[in-house]
């Protein structure tokens, strides 16, 4: 961004007053892992350019979009908004690494549409919080939930997804997928099958080797005291991966309730018992925001 943007800001106000949201002539159909589906409408790049060209020119504004090499070796799409005074502002959108030519072209087109609409303050897709939600369109919450469900079905954990995003040059700060920007979540879902294959092909991190401890000396048998039931635990609760057992007890939900939830959601077959759940799935499931949604869904189902 230039040191001064007063003239650019005044021109942008004038341009935005003359702009209309581009017509959304394209429709995207998304199918979830559970079999449900939704659709939303969006404007393609050509329609966005047609909608903004005249208002920008009249206000003395222009834009430039170029792909540049990032410091970490990846690539980013740079969108610059320029004013005749020489003032300017810019945004950066990370592009995935190791993508084929056709795949990279799709990513760049998506990035150009998203970046142009964002920097100019116009809507290129259906409103996720309004009418499209009632018509089956995606909200940010449902999109993030879909990613978690896809992770559970593929037995992919937070660490693998975040590591993949870093390798692809996508924004991946934070400790869970809940910290990812919604634009990155959309990119992951659009290329999910290829992303899963890449994640499963990534080499597993080796744990540091440890010296074998000498065998412990035999100890005399001790008198076994029957375990006392804690008030925080539910009667009959099986041994579950930590912290799942504690969370179930706090929410007053049984292991059978949880089993019914993940079977109905299509995450695992009914043969998968709660004490055998993959650790990565448990970690994703018990992330605070995800767990609240799971508890709500289970309690709503039980109340029906």
- Domain residue extents for the chain: 1-135, 139-204, 244-303
Confidence at residue 132, expressed as pLDDT on a 0 to 100 scale: 40
Please check whether residue 19 is in contact with residue 13, taking contact to mean a CB–CB distance below 8 angstroms: no
Please check whether residue 291 is in contact with residue 248, taking contact to mean a CB–CB distance below 8 angstroms: no
The model's pTM is: 0.44
Mean pLDDT, 10 residues at a time, over the chain (304 residues)?
93 94 80 60 89 94 90 82 95 73 75 90 68 48 77 78 86 75 85 87 59 58 46 42 76 85 80 80 82 87 80
Distance of CA 78 to the CA centre of its chain: 22
> Is 1-135 assigned to CATH 1.20.120?
no
Pairing of strands 37-42, 75-83: unpaired
Q: Give just the sign of the alpha carbon dihedral 163, 164, 168, 172.
A: negative
Confidence at residue 213, expressed as pLDDT on a 0 to 100 scale: 55
**Buried residues in 118-137 as b, exposed as e (16+ CB within 10 A):** ebbebebbbebeeebbeeeb
CA–CA distance from 127 to each of 109, 130, 228 (Å)? Answer: 20, 5, 54
Picking from 256, 269, 265, 240, the residue whose alpha carbon sits closest to that of residue 302 is 256
Pairing of strands 37-42, 26-31: antiparallel
Confidence at residue 119, expressed as pLDDT on a 0 to 100 scale: 93
How many Cβ atoms from other residues are within 10 Å of residue 6's Cβ?
10
Radius of gyration of the chain (CA): 25
Classify residue 31 by its DSSP letter.
Answer: E
CA distance 152 to 268: 8
Confidence at residue 172, expressed as pLDDT on a 0 to 100 scale: 65
Confidence at residue 62, expressed as pLDDT on a 0 to 100 scale: 95
Is the bond into 252 cis (omega within 30 degrees of 0)? no
Confidence at residue 8, expressed as pLDDT on a 0 to 100 scale: 95
Confidence at residue 136, expressed as pLDDT on a 0 to 100 scale: 44
Confidence at residue 131, expressed as pLDDT on a 0 to 100 scale: 40
Picking from 108, 127, 159, the residue whose alpha carbon sits closest to that of residue 282 is 159
């Amino acid at each position: 961004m230039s040191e001064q943007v007063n003239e650019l800001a005044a021109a942008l106000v004038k341009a935005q007053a003359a702009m209309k949201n581009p017509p959304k002539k394209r429709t995207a159909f998304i199918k979830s892992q559970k079999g449900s589906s939704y659709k939303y409408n969006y404007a393609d790049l050509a329609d966005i350019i047609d909608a903004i060209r005249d208002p920008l020119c009249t206000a003395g504004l222009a834009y430039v979009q170029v792909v540049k090499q990032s410091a970490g070796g990846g690539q980013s799409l740079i969108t610059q908004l320029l004013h005749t005074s020489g003032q300017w502002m810019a945004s950066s959108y990370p592009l995935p690494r190791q993508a084929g030519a056709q795949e990279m072209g799709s990513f760049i087109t998506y990035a150009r549409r998203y970046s142009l609409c964002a920097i100019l303050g116009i809507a290129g897709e259906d409103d996720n919080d309004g009418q499209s939600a009632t018509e089956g369109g995606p909200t940010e919450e449902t999109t993030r939930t879909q990613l978690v469900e896809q992770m559970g079905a593929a037995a992919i954990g937070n660490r693998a997804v975040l590591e993949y995003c870093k390798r692809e040059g996508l924004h991946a700060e934070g400790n869970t997928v809940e910290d990812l920007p919604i634009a990155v979540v959309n990119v992951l879902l659009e290329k999910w099958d290829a992303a899963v294959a890449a994640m499963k092909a990534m080499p597993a991190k080796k744990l540091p080797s440890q010296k074998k401890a000498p065998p412990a000396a035999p100890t005399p048998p001790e008198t076994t005291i029957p375990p006392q039931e804690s008030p925080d635990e539910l009667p009959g609760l099986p041994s579950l991966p930590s912290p799942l057992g504690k969370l179930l007890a706090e929410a007053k939900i049984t292991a059978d309730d949880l089993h019914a939830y993940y079977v109905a959601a299509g995450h695992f077959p009914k043969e998968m018992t709660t004490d055998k759940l993959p650790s990565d799935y448990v970690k994703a499931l018990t992330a605070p925001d995800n767990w609240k949604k799971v508890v709500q869904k289970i309690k709503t189902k039980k109340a029906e």
